[in-house]
Amino acid sequence: MADEYYKLPLRLDLLIKPPSARQTAATNKQVYCSMEASIQQNLFLITTTQFNEARYDGRFGCTIWDDDFSTTNDSVSVLWTDRIEKSLRDAIYRYEPRLERVKVEVSINREGTPDAHKLVIIRVRAEIAASNRRPFEYQREIAVAPFTSRVR
């Protein structure tokens, strides 16, 4: 398979099997995913990782967790979302080389969330470099303070 990208969570128990025992369609579905799914998983890891949390590289992650309780008014929210957009854009260029022409939008929605929560909506639009610049879109809603995530 030319597009063998590992699915998260990584199933090491299936990967260490001999290749002949690993070639079933059901096993392949549990171990591998498409390039688009792999990119989405990596973007999710970037957005949900705090700086210095990954031992292999302290720069991996996003600034969203540095001051997730601090957006109390609209003027601070604009600065906070701008900072997150820049942080995510930099991280995507650094850690996701399969994407080009990356555009990141971050917004905050407090409707329908408890008082302590902010619903941060992250949208990434880009092009997949290896596929004739095919469009790629990613959207994730994250309720921060405390952290939860919802797939759209």
- The residue-averaged pLDDT of 48-65 equals 88
Beta strands of 17-96 (E only): which ranges?
32-33
Q: What is the pLDDT of residue 14?
A: 79
Which H helix or E strand runs over 148? strand 148-151
Q: Is the peptide bond before 146 cis (omega within 30 degrees of 0)?
A: yes
Closest to 140 (Cα-Cα) out of 121, 127, 125: 121
Q: Is the peptide bond before 114 cis (omega within 30 degrees of 0)?
A: no
Q: Give 5-32 pLDDT, tens digit per residue.
A: 888 888 888 777 766 655 677 777 788 8
* CATH architecture assigned to 68-151: Roll (3.10)
Global pTM reads: 0.80
For helices 35-48 and 74-95, give the axis angle rounded to 10 degrees. 130
Looking from the CA of 148 toward its CB, the CA atoms found within 13 Å total: 9
By mean pLDDT, which of 62-71, 79-88, 96-105, 123-132 is the weakest?
Answer: 62-71
Hey, where are the domains in the chain? 68-151
